[in-house]
Structure 1
Amino acid sequence: MSSLSESSVPPDFWTQPGIDFRLNPKVALDTDGLADFVKTEVGIDSAVIMATSGTQRAGPKFVILEKRALLASAAAVNSHLGLEKEDRWLAPLTLFHVGGLGIFARVHLAGCRVFTVDDPLKWDRTGGDYLAACREHSITVTALTPVHLHDLVIENGHRAPESLRGILIGGGAISETLATRALELGWPIWATYGMTEACSQIATATDPSAAVSGWLPVLPGWKTQTDPKSGRLSIRSDALFSGYVTRNDAGNWHWDRPFDGEGWFATSDSVEIDGSGNLRFKSRLSDEVKSMGELVSIAKLERAIQESGAVGVVFPVPDERRGHRFIAVVEQGEGAFSLDAVNANLAPFEWIDEVIEQEELPRTVVGKIAKGELREILNKKM
């Protein structure tokens, strides 16, 4: 661990115009002419360009995040969380995701100190290096993914550092089992819900117990509405992205602003919103498939595996009779994985049919399970 290097996010980064690429160095993406296109054809001269999480599957798709929107997001987060100059941040996430870059926007506005890992692409699954940095620098605020938190509290049983007053957890669902164990060990979880298009967070709870219920207060500055049938979430804010850039069939850059006439962006998420303005994530609409005539959320099946204390993912496989059947790939743990125990909490049409156990599941650079690699493993076994 070391103090922030000036080369990663220069002091004048947030105030000077320019098009800045924040892309995964391990993924080869064609960006030739993209910066000029955004400046000359789109008319934006101060922005960060990131790739969407689906880029590797569906071809290059870039998200344009204007710096003013990133700073609007940071201001809302700082206000909501009560972040101040006295806070000491640990930034262990990569800068090619908004969860990582957003930390530096918040630090810029709050004027507080930040520490960063030497190589955020490498995560010590024992949690030893992370905890040592927290204690050495008396860290008060940090951010991780649910996979990182699982390694810390389920796999290793680490207690939270005494100096820590908040740990933002985002990038995936937090199971009740994981949240409960983390709270038992004193981890002050701030559960978040957000996306790249929102420049980071849309809803965050500073009450650690909310990580169990899943109900998160919507941040100031965000307008939300849901479709009464599907629960599809639409959002509007000064912190919203400006649009997408893709290549068309002719190989030329194409600008897409996916907003309605009033500036609403329809996400791919289904959520609930209560009368107090709290939001709870239900599922990604794109992850639902039909089985025995019923819609099944893959996210729900994966949460059921997490609730059992295991780490795993679920793949729907076409089935002539049912429409789809479900195969789980789980990581071998200390105890035996019980499929019967998982299915006991699911409806019959949701039951997982088969389990493939792996000694260790591949992970992305931000700690998420690499489902693409696992799909290839599954295809070879079928």
Structure 2
Amino acid sequence: MDALAITLEKFWSDSSSLLMKAEACKEIANVPKASVIFETSGSTGIPRKIVLSKQGLMVSAANVNAHLKVSAASVWGLCLPIWHVGGFAVPVRCYQAGCRLSIYSGRWDALESAKWLEREKVTHASMVPTQIFDIVKLGLRAPKSLIAIVVGGGQLAETIGQDARKLGWPVLASYGMTEAGSQIATQALEELAQPYCMDRLSILPCWKTRTNENSILEICGEPLLLGELVEERDGEKTFHPRASAWFTTSDRVELDDHWMSISGRADALVKIMGELVSPQRVTQALIALGMNPASFAVLAMPDERRENRLVLAYDAKDSSDWLCLMENYQQQAPGYEQINEAIAVSEIPRSALGKILIDELRNHLSS
């Protein structure tokens, strides 16, 4: 499917349901009408098919557009694949706002993307952290037309975000997921005047939020998934509707009125020498020291003595001085957050949006 088709009335008036795939889209019969199905694996690598309603996607688009002050005069730039909800949501917002869509074509290139943004006078865009890193690494100045870049699909290191803002790039931290049809919380435009940080995100009005006894976020709202398309043992695909109005995420958060602070994934903390350790926090510390986020991953591996040990898997093709950077980190990190082993790999497995597939990488290192 062409992204421009999503901006047309014909797509929204059609009651058929589509499965979005990289190679081609196809109609699906045994799910609710007027829905869109996205294949996702998050960071676990376990494939799932999430069913979203077209109406829910439109509600999400309306809330995002209002939050970012999008009007009919705006221009949304698309540089993400539309078979992922983060990319699909961009032309949906164009249809909802009645504004123009500009599509970046070809293989991702930071310099070419900056030229495209300036040439097309793009005002709003969604990008993933690796794209922002590439832009900052080249020291590219932002086009004057840009009003907001929503950063999703992973956490952008604060140092990279701060450098991006210094170069004029209006990067806004966001929190969302496929099950929510895109964003749940996003920084406000007013926060662009401050140094970039992930401390507080503004919850979009379409969402009700609460936490359970373990501080895990639960969400309720019209954009929420209808259910999942599950392949049974006999090969048949069956629609499993959502069991409750509320959906429990995998993230620990702190809520304060309409604000949200992300503490991290509940399943990402590991015990090392009796201490709870976040591999994500170690990753952010290494990025802050200058390590390329596209070329390494930190993960916990089982250890008889320490319960778990931290392993740095790095891309063997990367030419940066990772050893020196790791030594700098080791000098300042407490013992339980030290890297215990560094392993060169031929490739860091990632999703199409750049998310590291942790389970796949862990299985590779264990084999």
**Does the alignment reach a TM-score above 0.5?**
yes
User: Are residue 211 (structure 1) and residue 196 (structure 2) matched?
Assistant: yes
2:115 aligns with 132
Match of 2:166 among 179, 184, 188: 184
Question: How many equivalent pairs are there?
Answer: 357
1:227 aligns with 212
Whole-Å separation in 2 of the counterparts to 1:184 and 1:339: 26
Whole-Å separation in 2 of the counterparts to 1:271 and 1:356: 32
TM-score normalized with structure 2 length? 0.88
Instruction: Indicate the SS of the match to 2:365.
Output: helix
Match of 2:19 among 21, 33, 50: 21
User: Are residue 243 (structure 1) and residue 249 (structure 2) matched?
Assistant: no
User: Are residue 108 (structure 1) and residue 95 (structure 2) matched?
Assistant: yes
Counting only pairs closer than 5 Å after superposition, residues 149-298 of structure 1 correspond to structure 2 as 149-153=132-136, 155-205=137-187, 206=189, 207-208=191-192, 209=194, 211-228=196-213, 230-260=214-244, 263-274=245-256, 276-298=257-279
Residues 340 and 141 of structure 1, relative CA distance in 2, 3 Å threshold: same
2:75 aligns with 88
Indicate if the aligned counterparts of 1:191 and 1:204 stay in contact, CA closer than 8 A: yes
Indicate if the aligned counterparts of 2:179 and 2:224 stay in contact, CA closer than 8 A: yes
Instruction: Indicate the SS of the match to 2:197.
Output: helix
Q: What CA RMSD, in Å, does the superposition of the two structures yield over aligned residues?
A: 2.7
* Percent of pairs with identical residues: 33
| 1:42-77 deviation per Cα after TM superposition (whole angstroms, max 9, x unaligned) | xx110001112259843x421001100000100111
| 1:287-332 deviation per Cα after TM superposition (whole angstroms, max 9, x unaligned) | 2333223333232222222222212211211111111111112354
1:41 aligns with none
Residues 55 and 303 of structure 1, relative CA distance in 2, 3 Å threshold: closer
Match of 1:73 among 60, 77, 84: 60
CA shift at 1:347, angstroms?
Answer: 4.1
Residues 345 and 24 of structure 1, relative CA distance in 2, 3 Å threshold: farther
CA shift at 1:254, angstroms?
Answer: 3.6
Whole-Å separation in 2 of the counterparts to 1:372 and 1:270: 20
The answer for unaligned runs of 5 or more in structure 1 is: 39-43
CA shift at 1:367, angstroms?
Answer: 3.3
CA shift at 1:81, angstroms?
Answer: 1.1
Whole-Å separation in 2 of the counterparts to 1:163 and 1:293: 51
Whole-Å separation in 2 of the counterparts to 1:281 and 1:156: 29
Whole-Å separation in 1 of the counterparts to 2:350 and 2:111: 19
CA shift at 1:365, angstroms?
Answer: 2.7
2:33 aligns with 45
CA shift at 1:248, angstroms?
Answer: 2.7
Indicate if the aligned counterparts of 2:45 and 2:358 stay in contact, CA closer than 8 A: no
TM-score normalized with structure 1 length? 0.85
What letter matches 1:12 in structure 2? K
Report the more deviating stretch, 250-259 or 87-96.
250-259
Whole-Å separation in 2 of the counterparts to 1:218 and 1:241: 18
Instruction: Indicate the SS of the match to 1:212.
Output: coil
Instruction: Indicate the SS of the match to 2:66.
Output: helix
